[in-house]
Amino acid sequence: MLMQAVESYLAMRRAVGFELRTEGNLLQSFARFAEARGEQLICPKTAIDWSGLGSSAFQRARRLGVVIRFAHHLHAEDQRHKIPPQGVFGSRSRTRPVPYIFAPGQIGQLIAAASRQDTGDALLPYAYSTLFGLLACTGLRVSEALKLRCQDITVDGIIVQESKFRKTRLVPLHTTAQAKLEHYLVLRHSLAPAAEDHLFVSQQGRPLRYSAVAWRFQTILKVIGLDSGRHPTLHSLRHTFAVRALEACPDGRDRVSKHTVALSHYLGHYNVAATYWYLEATANLMNDIAEACDDLVKGGIS
């Protein structure tokens, strides 16, 4: 009965666009745990016992939060289901690390070094340099870029097919980026004519894997001397794009709002709150906000 309730709940939420891969696995695990105890209704003690099996404080809090959300859903129709208490294992929130923001010159160094890599494959230096350049100038997620097919490159920009949150969106390209992609496509078709239709492939035609790209990225960071201190990651290119776009935001409350909402859609964020995070995550943007607030207060006083 409880497992059936889990499947019904997951089907309902997935029908409106949620993937719920991790949450679904957790709820199925909880249902098996409860049913092994002979229970068909949510019991706070069982929920806490199951959540306590998590490997860390964050995991335990997350597991309990998943059950609490599910319990609220069931309790609305059947009050025999009891809602577990909040906060038994602390907060489910995880502090996000401060993003690494590349200087413009560093991105140029990264792309140039990628194009000079001796990989034993004639196409890979072009694939890596084009991939890193694309991530830097569009803010695409790495997974989105690696899933691109040749037909996704259009005269209007890049079509990102059903990425995170099942969104499909058009990402416009600057003319210089469009020209670089077209040049890469010519080389790709010349060096790997029998390749699959993935955009980024090796000369043997195999699509680039995330693990290989991440390893190559870290190798290049060492070559250009950026491997000391706080380490950049592939996602730092997306972070850098978002921060630079917010720094270019025009003055004026209405214009700022429109600019931020447009950027949120461009990045494929689920909601604009994910875009606002960049405002508080970088010192330079926080300084801009502080100065704007100071000006507002002084203007109000005068």
Question: Which sequence spans correspond to the domains of the chain?
Answer: 2-75, 104-234, 238-301
Kindly name the residue from 164, 174, 183, 222 that is annotated as catalytic. 164
In the numeric block, the tokens 């776009």 are attached to 245
pLDDT at 255: 63
Contacts of 137 (CB under 8 A, 6+ apart): 173, 174, 177, 241
- How high is the mean pLDDT of the chain? 85
Lowest model confidence (mean pLDDT) among 1-15, 100-114, 210-224, 228-242:
228-242
Q: Count other Cβ atoms within 10 Å, centred on residue 143.
A: 11
> What backbone torsions phi and psi does residue 203 show, to the nearest 5 degrees?
-65, -25
Residue 116 bears catalytic tag? no
Q: Region 263-292: what's the mean pLDDT?
A: 62
107 within 8 A of 220, measured Cβ to Cβ: no
Q: Region 14-27: what's the mean pLDDT?
A: 86
pLDDT at 231: 77
Residue 184 bears catalytic tag? no
Residue 278 bears catalytic tag? yes
Distances (CA, A) of 112 to 86, 123, 164, 184: 51, 15, 30, 15
Residue 133 pLDDT > 80, yes or no?
Answer: yes
- Give strand pairing partners of 201: 207
Q: Region 83-91: what's the mean pLDDT?
A: 88
Q: Count other Cβ atoms within 10 Å, centred on residue 46.
A: 19
Domain 104-234 classification at class level: mainly alpha
pLDDT at 58: 87
pLDDT at 29: 96
- Higher local confidence (pLDDT), 210 or 301: 210
Kindly name the residue from 82, 235, 244, 259 that is annotated as catalytic. 235
Q: Region 166-181: what's the mean pLDDT?
A: 89
Kindly name the residue from 141, 147, 216, 239 that is annotated as catalytic. 141
pLDDT at 60: 93
155 within 8 A of 169, measured Cβ to Cβ: no
What is the amino acid identity at position 287? N
Kindly name the residue from 60, 216, 238, 239 that is annotated as catalytic. 238
Lowest model confidence (mean pLDDT) among 31-40, 140-149, 188-197, 244-253:
244-253
Residue 162 pLDDT > 80, yes or no?
Answer: no
Three-state DSSP state, 8: helix
pLDDT at 302: 40
- Predicted confidence (pLDDT) per residue in 217-258, tens digit: 999 999 998 866 667 889 999 888 888 887 777 665 556 666
Residue 235 bears catalytic tag? yes
Order across the sheet with 169-171: list the strands: 153-154, 157-160, 169-171
Q: Which one, of 288, 120, 89, lies nearest residue 204 by Cα?
A: 120
